């Protein structure tokens, strides 16, 4: 699995954030069921494109941004430098503590992870959620095989589907947005 993005990838993501932030990233963040007090994990945070809009909504909560890439985390720190309610972790989901989060979200991340790695990551994300916590993801619809594996792993690790919808994401195409609840 590729861990470090090229500087061109970071630059292109920054451009997409600047030009399409509201229609792509804010739209996803605004649909997250947040009251403002939750402990939230952004799994695979990248440069913080969704996190920027989530952190604004967590008036009394906390956002943890996790990525395996030091370059992405450095870019994320820059994106979120004005927020006090954010912490940054470099590493794997398997290092998360039990029942730490009310909500975990992934935005266009899971489809890039090999299935054998997902077999370790999804159970770790489930364990990190409090009972009744939510795991929310948005993934490309064209990745049907990977989406099937993600669904199987979610349901096999104590997660129940709560809501799904197909949406057209500017620049990125059709995507599946799903919400799973930890039983």
Least confident of 17-26, 45-54, 80-89, 161-170: 17-26
Give pLDDT tens digits for 109-149.
Answer: 999 999 999 999 999 999 999 999 999 999 999 988 999 99
Looking at residue 1, its pLDDT comes to 45
Percent of the chain with pLDDT over 70: 98
pLDDT of 12 higher than 90? no
List of residues 6+ apart from 9 with CB closer than 8 A: none
Domain ranges of the chain: 7-182
Please tell me the distance from the alpha carbon of residue 129 to that of residue 41, in angstroms, as a whole number.
Answer: 9
User: Average per-residue pLDDT in the chain?
Assistant: 92
pLDDT band at 2 (very low <50, low <70, confident <90, very high): low
Per the structure block, which two tokens stand in for 85? 């309610």
Per the structure block, which two tokens stand in for 138? 């948005």
7-182 topology per CATH? Rossmann fold (3.40.50)
Query: 80 vs 16, which has greater pLDDT?
Result: 80
- The residue whose two tokens read 């009744």 is 132
């Amino acid at each position: 699995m590729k861990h470090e993005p090229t500087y061109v990838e970071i630059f292109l993501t920054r451009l997409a954030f600047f030009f399409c932030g509201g229609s792509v990233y804010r739209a996803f963040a605004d649909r997250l069921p947040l009251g403002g007090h939750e402990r939230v994990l952004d799994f695979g945070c990248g440069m913080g494109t969704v996190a920027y809009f989530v952190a604004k909504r967590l008036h009394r909560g906390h956002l943890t941004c996790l990525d395996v890439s030091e370059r992405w985390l450095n870019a994320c720190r820059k994106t979120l430098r004005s927020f006090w309610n954010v912490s940054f972790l470099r590493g794997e989901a398997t290092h998360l503590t039990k029942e730490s989060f009310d909500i975990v979200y992934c935005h266009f991340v899971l489809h890039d992870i090999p299935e054998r790695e997902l077999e370790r990551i999804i159970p770790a994300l489930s364990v990190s959620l409090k009972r009744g916590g939510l795991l929310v993801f948005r993934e490309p619809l064209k990745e049907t095989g990977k989406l099937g594996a993600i669904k199987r792993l979610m349901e096999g690790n104590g997660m129940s589907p709560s809501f799904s919808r197909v949406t057209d994401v500017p620049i990125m195409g059709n995507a599946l947005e799903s919400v799973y609840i930890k039983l």
